[in-house]
Amino acid sequence: MNLPLREQAGVVIAAASGRIDHASADAFNLALEPLIKTCVGGSKPLVLDFSGVDYISSVGLRALMMASRQAKGQKGVFAIAGMQPLVQEVFTISRFNLIMPCYLSVAAACQVLGS
C-alpha cells in the first residue's frame, strides 16, 4: 500500500486510500511504520488523510491505535483527517473518535497542528 506524502503548513500529510481490512492491514502497517518512526517530539506533525479511505475494519483501527500509541510515546503528533461519512460512522461506533485525534478535513488539521 502506498501512502503518498505531501506537506502543508508544516504538517506531513500521508494519503491513505481504499479499504483497510484483514486483506490490506499488513500492507497498511508496513507503509505506516517508517512514517511513525519519524513522528517524534520536535518533528513535523503527521496527519493521515483519510478522504480516500472507503472502509476501515477492526484490524485497521487497531493498527491506527498502535501507531498513535507509538507516536505518543515518542512525543510526536499524529492525527487522522478528512474521513468519509461512513468511515466517520465506523469511528463513532467503535468509539475510536474518543481515543484518536480526528479532524474533519486536512485543512482543519493543518490549522490546528500546523506552523
Binding region for another protein (CB under 8 A)? 22, 55, 57-59, 61-62, 65, 69, 86, 89-90, 92-96, 98-99
Minimum CB separation from another protein for residue 52, in Å?
A: 18
- In angstroms, the CA 106 to CA 38 distance is 20
Minimum CB separation from another protein for residue 78, in Å?
A: 15
- In angstroms, the CA 56 to CA 29 distance is 13
Nearest CA to 90 out of 102, 73, 78 is that of: 102
Q: What's the start-to-end Cα distance of the chain, in Å?
A: 29
Indicate the residue among 65 and 112 with the shorter CB distance to another protein: 65
Minimum CB separation from another protein for residue 70, in Å?
A: 13
Indicate the residue among 92 and 111 with the shorter CB distance to another protein: 92
Indicate the residue among 43 and 94 with the shorter CB distance to another protein: 94
Nearest CA to 113 out of 99, 5, 105 is that of: 105
Minimum CB separation from another protein for residue 96, in Å?
A: 5
Indicate the residue among 51 and 57 with the shorter CB distance to another protein: 57
Q: Which residues of 26-37 are buried (b: 16+ CB within 10 A; e: fewer)?
A: eebbebbeebbe
